[in-house]
């Protein structure tokens, strides 16, 4: 079981890298713009969080899309969706531009 789970995670990471991260929100501002302004931060679980109330609607759209992706990947890999989100979060951390805020599991924010 452990070997299968490890293999599944390796495949999942490869899929994340091959498919890119996520589309920009449908609003006028892109995700990178929202991150750069500090209005949106990335979380340890692969979701975004509004650091400014003005970004709440964008965060809802982004997170809905991400949850859909995580659920699909989890079903195809036979792993929990929250585990998929954590794998994506690692990839997001590596690829996010400088200045992006990240929320750790202990609820502390750090800036890249």
Q: Tell me the pLDDT tens digit for each residue of 8-44.
A: 555 555 454 444 444 444 444 799 999 999 999 999 9
Taking the C-alpha atoms of residue 92 and residue 90, their distance in angstroms, rounded to an integer, is: 5
* Beta-sheet strands, E only, within the chain: 40-43, 48-50, 101-103, 109-111
- Looking at residue 25, its pLDDT comes to 43
Token pair belonging to 79: 């792993």
| Residues 52-109: tens digit of each pLDDT | 999 999 999 999 999 999 999 999 999 999 999 999 999 999 999 999 999 999 999 9
Do residues 84 and 12 lie in contact, with contact meaning Cβ atoms separated by under 8 Å? yes
Do residues 94 and 100 lie in contact, with contact meaning Cβ atoms separated by under 8 Å? no
- Looking at residue 29, its pLDDT comes to 74
């Amino acid at each position: 079981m452990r070997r299968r789970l490890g293999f599944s995670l390796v495949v999942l990471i490869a899929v994340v890298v091959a498919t890119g991260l996520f589309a920009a929100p449908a609003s006028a501002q892109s995700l990178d713009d929202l991150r750069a302004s500090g209005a949106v931060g990335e979380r340890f679980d692969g979701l975004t969080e509004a650091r400014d109330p003005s970004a709440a609607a964008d965060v809802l759209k982004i997170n809905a899309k991400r949850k859909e992706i995580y659920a699909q990947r989890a079903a195809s890999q036979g792993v929990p969706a929250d585990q998929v989100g954590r794998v994506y979060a690692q990839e997001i951390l590596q690829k996010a531009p400088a200045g992006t805020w990240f929320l750790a599991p202990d609820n502390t924010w750090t800036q890249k």
